[in-house]
Amino acid sequence: MIKIPYGMGDFKALREENYLYCDRTALLHSLEEAGRQLLFLRPRRFGKTLWLTLLENYYDIASAEQFEALFGNLAIGERPTPNHNRYFILKWDFSSIEPHGGYQQIASSIHRHINSSIAFFSAQYQHRLPEAVVINEEDSLGSFENLLTTLKRLNAPLYLLIDEYDNFANEVLTSREQGRERYHELIGGEGVLKTVFKMVKAAAAGRGLERVFITGVSPVVMSDMTSGYNVVKNISQWPEFHNLCGFTAAELQQLCRKIATQCQLPEGSSEEAAALMQNFYNGYRFSDEMSERLYNPTLCLYFWDGWQRRCRYPAELLDNNLAMDRNRLRYVAALPHGMEVISAALTSETPLTVGSLAQDFGIEAMLNNPPDASFIVSLLIYFGVLTIKEVSPLGKLEATIPNQVVRSLYVEQMQRYLIGNYEDNNRQQAVAEQLYTEASFTPLADFIEQRFYSVLDNRDMRWSNEFTLKMTLLILLTNDLYYLPRSELSLGGGYSDLVFEVRPDKRQAPLYDLLFELKYLPLSKVKLSDDELQQLSRHELAQLPAVKAQLDEAETQLERYRSELLKRFPATAWKLQSFAVVTLGTRRLVWR
């Protein structure tokens, strides 16, 4: 059985216990050439901590005897850099800092963590140090000064590794109670976090701190510290480090083949699994100079671990460890124009574009009614809930939702925004299930007319009317337990509006595949008042010339799309039900 390192962030344990590892050590040469103080940003749970522990073991002076065991059969083992096993290593992990409480409580937590790290450093290197580093219980920066003084006597260089530098600050910022005030206290003026990084900057100016490597999610906190630490080089978008974290398509396909063989699954099983994972986990592009897209490593390991153990796919394709991204979307939704960006991303009606990925933007730029969406789009890209799709001839970046797992988080946010009450949630799930299992569209149409469209009227949603129904169906029908939703699927020279394809592992369940062609008619085209529109039955509405013409056109398109689907995916055991649906304004629905 392949040892899948799901939930593991310790490179040494991973190598010593023979877990799966995809070699990235060849990048160490480029990393050393890039600079001495580096910032590397990636979304949460994207493998940053594993890379940091790799750096720790590669550069640690105390790990020299283990170099061959850990790195000998990797790319760097054949051609190591001159700096390997040359440094004393100090690690700070800011994800462990408690973000709750007032400013003094958080500041004390930071000082305790730094002091604990220095105490661990002193114990780890006790046989190499002339004496233990003196810990200043009241001031961890005084302890850091003492550490530098001790190493100065040895003429020994220090490498500082900081993991998730912005984690607790982001948690403070997104908290509901006085989050912004506490954030400004931590970052601004002589706030503790800014003071800590000023000390790091000073230590790297000839005082023994030779290298710094920092991981995080976004540059917001670093930007807000401005002069506190303005010497770091952000390598996050450099093409040579694009795949430093994350799996490539080739790596994914290789693992899928191994697991399918191990489970003795039928021919084509590995290709089916790879296609499913591509739909749900692929799509991340962190550099506009790279076309290759990366798979989320945590989600891939979660999938492989569950698949291998039971030889069937996990029912839930979203690992709950990534559920915190929901909070990120909620936070962005509350920013000025945040909900507009989220709805625009979900509809794909108008591409979300930015001139470039913003790097020097702080929280004030987002909170003070920004002039355009560039800050919010950039922030969502850093969070991993948008990614770079295309680069225009003018160099503008077009952003998109990377995959179905993330799309589901958007759908959840929109559901919470539009149908957040208990009664409507229960009814929505019930009418959706009737469509899934009975191909009955009437209950869903009644719900949309009676509850959903009325909510839309009362919310400031800036969707173009042509996309309102598409957005509505995506919000109400997306269900990752059963379906692979596909929007604008290219079929026979056209693009189907929506396809809900039953997951391959759910083919035995009593579920229908659903194909939709959607049309919009403004009320002015049917020449009916709102009252008249409500009094007519759906059958009577369907006989109106303008409505009938739209239904006829939609059915013609559906016939072509249906035929193309069956040809394009001949191995799929389709149970296809198709629906031509016309929405009259945001009042009534008619379908065939």
pLDDT digits (tens, 9 = 90+) for 74-127: 999 999 999 999 999 999 999 999 888 888 998 999 999 999 999 999 999 999
Residue 227 vs residue 500, higher pLDDT: 500
Q: According to the model, what pLDDT value does residue 514 have?
A: 96
CATH class, 11-241 region:
alpha beta
For residue 102, the SS3 value is coil
Token readout for 381 is 């890209």
Mean pLDDT over 185-210 rounds to: 89
Residue 310 vs residue 180, higher pLDDT: 310
Nearest-angstrom CA–CA distance, 467 and 350: 10
DSSP secondary-structure letter at 448? I
High-pLDDT (> 70) share of the chain, %:
94
Q: Chain centroid to CA 92: how far?
A: 24
The beta strand positions in 123-187, using DSSP E, are: 158-163
Listed range (10-14, 476-480, 497-501, 528-532) with the worst mean pLDDT = 528-532
Residue with tokens 């000073």: 202
Q: According to the model, what pLDDT value does residue 486 have?
A: 86
Domain boundaries, the chain: 11-241, 249-322, 419-592
Asked whether residue 461 carries a pLDDT value surpassing 60, the answer given is: no
Asked whether residue 337 carries a pLDDT value surpassing 80, the answer given is: no
> Are 183 and 234 a contacting pair, CB within 8 Å?
no
Burial class (CB in 10 A: 0-12, 13-18, 19+), 75: middle
Q: Which of 183, 197, 356, 382 lies closest to 286 in space, CA to CA?
A: 382
Residue 166 vs residue 458, higher pLDDT: 166
Asked whether residue 177 carries a pLDDT value surpassing 60, the answer given is: no
pLDDT, averaged across the chain: 89
Asked whether residue 321 carries a pLDDT value surpassing 80, the answer given is: no
Q: According to the model, what pLDDT value does residue 327 have?
A: 72
Asked whether residue 188 carries a pLDDT value surpassing 60, the answer given is: yes
Residue 90 vs residue 487, higher pLDDT: 90
Quote the Cα angle for 39-43-48, to 5°: 55
Which conformational region is residue 585 in: left (phi greater than 0), alpha (psi within -120 to 50 degrees), or beta? left
Q: According to the model, what pLDDT value does residue 464 have?
A: 52
> Are 388 and 288 a contacting pair, CB within 8 Å?
yes
Asked whether residue 128 carries a pLDDT value surpassing 70, the answer given is: yes
In angstroms, the Cα distances linking 203 to 111, 149, 179, 225, 419 are 17, 11, 31, 17, 53
Listed range (150-164, 215-229, 515-529) with the worst mean pLDDT = 215-229
For residue 321, the tally of other CB atoms under 10 A from its CB is 13
Q: Which of 80, 211, 232, 100 lies closest to 156 in space, CA to CA?
A: 211
Q: What is the pLDDT of residues 238-259, one digit of tens each?
A: 999 999 999 999 999 999 999 9
Nearest-angstrom CA–CA distance, 86 and 33: 16
Residue 415 vs residue 235, higher pLDDT: 235
Listed range (53-67, 178-192, 404-418) with the worst mean pLDDT = 178-192
Q: Determine the longest span between alpha carbons in the chain, in angstroms.
A: 93
Asked whether residue 368 carries a pLDDT value surpassing 80, the answer given is: no
Asked whether residue 462 carries a pLDDT value surpassing 80, the answer given is: no
Listed range (209-218, 326-335, 442-451, 556-565) with the worst mean pLDDT = 326-335
DSSP secondary-structure letter at 582? E
Q: What sign does the CA torsion over 450, 453, 455, 458 have? A: negative
Residue with tokens 């990636």: 42
Mean pLDDT over 264-274 rounds to: 95
Asked whether residue 22 carries a pLDDT value surpassing 60, the answer given is: yes
Listed range (106-110, 419-423, 460-464) with the worst mean pLDDT = 460-464
Mean pLDDT over 418-447 rounds to: 91
Nearest-angstrom CA–CA distance, 378 and 358: 6
Q: According to the model, what pLDDT value does residue 525 have?
A: 87
